Chains A and B, each alone.
Chain A
């Protein structure tokens, strides 16, 4: 049954195009003639032909590529400029050879003609065999309601098999009805249909009817707009929460490594940001190698880069611990200064080898684009970064709680002499713990390379934030870091619409400064015997 229907539709379309073949060429020839208004009518007629080839023709017109050949008055499409200009048949797309400069004259287009072109293309694509194109056409028609299109839309709706596309077409038709001089009752019904669509474009369509002369229409429009706005506010909250979670996950990524080195070991590593940067550059190098040698693996580049980044950053971390931090245990302020020195050197090293400018790190296909969630549009890269951050966090928790290394690590930080007496090689544990924190910074770098500029300065923009997150959450408490990252992220994004991004950031900083003074040990202090004296 279904197949039969589709077949008939196809057959009908074929017939229609065959019948209009002649007239399309005629119409094309009329395009250069007459006033803009006359030509807009021609465009509308071209749209009404329903001919597939008309889309290309109209597109060329819209782009300003349609020109008249002076020799024979033929309408051709010209691509390229000057000596490189090449002519094409606008209907078939056949190449006609090079076009000498001065041998053609442009067909001028103004805005109203461009609008007509778009509407006509919209109509044409309404009957495209590609559902995506039909949907796009319906949306275009919705955004620019035109009573003239009602008929075309009716035909399209009758033929439409895809439910989502049909809904969009019905909404477009309702919008067109609103713009027409249909009776009030019909318009009220149309408002209902438009309102169900929701979102900003529905508001744009409805807004002109708030003060409609027809009282019931005006009232219905008012009600519908209020409803949409309420829903939008809800989605706005949702959007802020999502942006906040997204920012929170970035903060978590940046801070969680620090929660190990600073929170658990009590070592201030000011080069933490640079380890993140190293992770990002590892990703860049990995992608370069893949691009040149194994292009097929590009979608896997991040998964390949992640362990590498962990190892590279981790190794640097171990080196920092062995050669510098080790000599400074118990002297926190000196450690801070020495690791700051390391950060400067790492930055300059990267600058020397990779240059000071931003490096391009690509998104694999599964991380590009966005997907809708209700009224939200969620980008895949942000989505995966949230997942990635939480996964690292959980992995770290498990590592600390469930493995022998985690046990040794906690033993060493809690009671070094006793741990050493029990045969734990404390120096090794120190180095590995520091390496772990550094390695996680490297992992963070892989993720952040997807959303931030990969430059030698990448790390600096995270270091202050990540320290504040760890301190705010309470040093030594991983869950505190988790809570702090997301709290600060969400708070920041909720403030942004009111005060702007920079002021929001300043306010958060001031808030944390005040908070630390009220509760110096953070949200979730880890209590322990404070050393007397």
Chain B
């Protein structure tokens, strides 16, 4: 069962499908005429692009939860920070085209009576700086938070609870107008990025392709990390933390590294998400959002990366459909999903698919005996 090739079956299949989507959807959007049955309207393209960002976020969470046992209930915060970093750049790109026509201050600052730009808004007029911050802001938060938490050996549900408290505190903080991030309206009314209008089809297609590439890249980075000895140590930490320590590994350093990388990945997802949906507001920090990410990963199959991405796509697609078709049913469905998946489907959908596939092809291998808890 030890799949030792870098691109194994499940990753290969998923990447191939992703490639088809990456090429096919933009083609169906631009090359086919709107009358054609296969035409993908631009709003649909952006919607799928948004799903791909969620999938990347799920991969990021799977890296820490599936492989290292760190159940972060605050990954939405890293996603939102990446989103805010990008949003701040887009905000400054508006320039004097805002409602108040102030060349430097975004509208909400003029409205709130700011005299000058707060110090932490400087530099965001430069694209490269914003990109750097997309990585640094969530990365730094994860690093500082993790440095404290892992060093003092906060684990299990305790860790989950304080990650939840972290995102809750950020939610409250970003709601405050005094924070300088637009309060509860957040950042919105973006115009263009790098001179390309955000409403043009070309920009939308580019963002879509970038999201798909980021997801593919995230999967490959995750795959690489988990294939190395480092990845095996992570799994060791998940299954028998003290054994890992007694072998001489500094567990906190391993956790810190993967937590920070994961947070950055989530930040990238957030940064690609914001220009496609056109807004970022404090609601992204809400604890409920972060827990929802967990169900994506659990449903897809944790500890597989591909499963996490798959789970995100399934759940958000189901959500879009249900909330418009049966608005009241969505929370029931989501709630049931949480319960049923944890009790009956610990390996997730991917585990189920692979089990079915294996069952048809051959008898179960003798070594696939379940590890006892």
Q: Do A and B belong to a common assembly?
A: yes
Q: Which residues of A contact B (CB under 8 A)?
A: 268, 324, 327-328, 330-338, 340-345, 347-348, 351-352, 460, 464, 467-468, 471, 502-503, 505-506, 509-510, 512-514, 516-518, 520, 532-533
Q: Which of A331, A337, A513, A520 contacts B295 (CB 8 A)?
A: A337
Q: Which of A268, A345, A471, A503 contacts B331 (CB 8 A)?
A: A345
Shortest C-beta distance, A397 to chain B (Å), equals 25
Q: Which of A333, A351, A352 contacts B71 (CB 8 A)?
A: A333
Centre residue among A331, A510, A516 by max chain B CB count within 10 A:
A516
Contact B332–A328 (Cβ < 8 Å): no
Q: Which of B243, B287, B328 contacts A533 (CB 8 A)?
A: B243
Shortest C-beta distance, A477 to chain B (Å), equals 15
Contact A512–B156 (Cβ < 8 Å): no
Q: Which of B151, B168, B176, B335 contacts A464 (CB 8 A)?
A: B168
Q: Which of B164, B335, B337 contacts A348 (CB 8 A)?
A: B335
Contact B71–A345 (Cβ < 8 Å): no
Contact A327–B343 (Cβ < 8 Å): yes
Q: Which of B154, B160, B243, B373 contacts A333 (CB 8 A)?
A: B160
Known: A332-B157, A333-B160, A502-B172. A341 touches B336 (CB 8 A): yes
Contact A342–B148 (Cβ < 8 Å): no
Contact A324–B165 (Cβ < 8 Å): no
Contact A348–B242 (Cβ < 8 Å): no
Q: Which of A337, A510, A517 contacts B152 (CB 8 A)?
A: A517
Q: How far is the CA of A351 from the CA of B335 in the complex (A)?
A: 14
Q: How far is the CA of A330 from the CA of B153 in the complex (A)?
A: 19
Contact B338–A341 (Cβ < 8 Å): yes
- B contact residues around A352 at 8 Å (CB): 328
Q: Which residue on chain B has the smallest CB distance to residue A533?
A: B242
- B contact residues around A510 at 8 Å (CB): 169
- B contact residues around A502 at 8 Å (CB): 172-173, 175-176
Q: Which of B158, B288, B298, B373 contacts A337 (CB 8 A)?
A: B298
Contact A506–B172 (Cβ < 8 Å): yes
- A contact residues around B328 at 8 Å (CB): 348, 351-352
Shortest C-beta distance, A35 to chain B (Å), equals 44
Contact A336–B158 (Cβ < 8 Å): no
Q: Which residues of B contact A (CB under 8 A)?
A: 71, 145, 148-149, 151-154, 156-158, 160-162, 164-166, 168-169, 172-173, 175-176, 240, 242-243, 287-288, 291, 294-295, 298, 328, 331-332, 334-339, 341-343, 346, 373
Q: Which of B145, B242, B335, B346 contacts A342 (CB 8 A)?
A: B335
Contact B342–A468 (Cβ < 8 Å): no
- A contact residues around B343 at 8 Å (CB): 324, 327-328, 334, 338
Contact A517–B71 (Cβ < 8 Å): no
- A contact residues around B288 at 8 Å (CB): 460
Centre residue among A351, A352, A506 by max chain B CB count within 10 A:
A506
B interface secondary structure, majority:
helix
- A contact residues around B169 at 8 Å (CB): 506, 509-510, 513
Q: Which of B152, B287, B334 contacts A344 (CB 8 A)?
A: B334
Beyond the given pairs A347-B331, A517-B154, 12 more chain A to chain B contacts, judged by CB atoms under 8 angstroms and listed by A's residue number, are: A332-B157, A334-B343, A336-B71, A337-B298, A342-B335, A464-B164, A464-B168, A502-B172, A502-B176, A506-B169, A514-B148, A533-B243
Contact B287–A337 (Cβ < 8 Å): no
Q: How far is the CA of A330 from the CA of B71 in the complex (A)?
A: 15
Q: Which residue on chain B has the smallest CB distance to residue A460?
A: B288
Q: Which of A268, A332, A345, A505 contacts B336 (CB 8 A)?
A: A345
Shortest C-beta distance, B67 to chain A (Å), equals 14
Q: How far is the CA of A468 from the CA of B373 in the complex (A)?
A: 29
- B contact residues around A344 at 8 Å (CB): 331-332, 334-335, 338
Q: Which of A338, A343, A516, A520 contacts B342 (CB 8 A)?
A: A338
Known: A327-B343, A337-B295, A340-B291. A471 touches B158 (CB 8 A): yes
Shortest C-beta distance, A461 to chain B (Å), equals 11
Shortest C-beta distance, A7 to chain B (Å), equals 66
Shortest C-beta distance, B71 to chain A (Å), equals 5
Centre residue among A330, A331, A471, A520 by max chain B CB count within 10 A:
A520
- B contact residues around A348 at 8 Å (CB): 328, 331-332, 335
Shortest C-beta distance, B145 to chain A (Å), equals 8
- B contact residues around A331 at 8 Å (CB): 373
- A contact residues around B373 at 8 Å (CB): 330-331
Q: Which of A337, A351, A460, A505 contacts B294 (CB 8 A)?
A: A337
Q: How far is the CA of A345 from the CA of B332 in the complex (A)?
A: 5
Contact A332–B176 (Cβ < 8 Å): no
Shortest C-beta distance, B156 to chain A (Å), equals 6
Contact B337–A509 (Cβ < 8 Å): no
Q: How far is the CA of A334 from the CA of B165 in the complex (A)?
A: 19
Contact A509–B148 (Cβ < 8 Å): no
Shortest C-beta distance, B171 to chain A (Å), equals 9
Q: How far is the CA of A432 from the CA of B366 in the complex (A)?
A: 42
Shortest C-beta distance, A264 to chain B (Å), equals 15
Q: Can you list 5 pairs linking A and B with CB atoms under 8 Å apart?
A: A338-B342, A338-B343, A340-B291, A509-B168, A520-B152
Known: A336-B157, A348-B328. A343 touches B172 (CB 8 A): no
Q: How far is the CA of A509 from the CA of B164 in the complex (A)?
A: 10
Known: A512-B165, A533-B243. A517 touches B339 (CB 8 A): no
Contact A468–B338 (Cβ < 8 Å): no
Contact A509–B156 (Cβ < 8 Å): no
Known: A341-B337, A341-B339. A517 touches B243 (CB 8 A): no
Known: A337-B294, A502-B176, A512-B165. A268 touches B157 (CB 8 A): yes
Shortest C-beta distance, A164 to chain B (Å), equals 45
Known: A324-B343, A348-B328, A505-B172. A338 touches B165 (CB 8 A): no
Centre residue among A328, A333, A335, A506 by max chain B CB count within 10 A:
A333
Q: How far is the CA of A468 from the CA of B163 in the complex (A)?
A: 11
Contact B339–A338 (Cβ < 8 Å): yes
- A contact residues around B336 at 8 Å (CB): 341, 345
Q: How far is the CA of A427 from the CA of B337 in the complex (A)?
A: 26
- B contact residues around A332 at 8 Å (CB): 156-157
Q: Which of B71, B240, B243, B338 contacts A338 (CB 8 A)?
A: B338
- B contact residues around A342 at 8 Å (CB): 335, 338-339
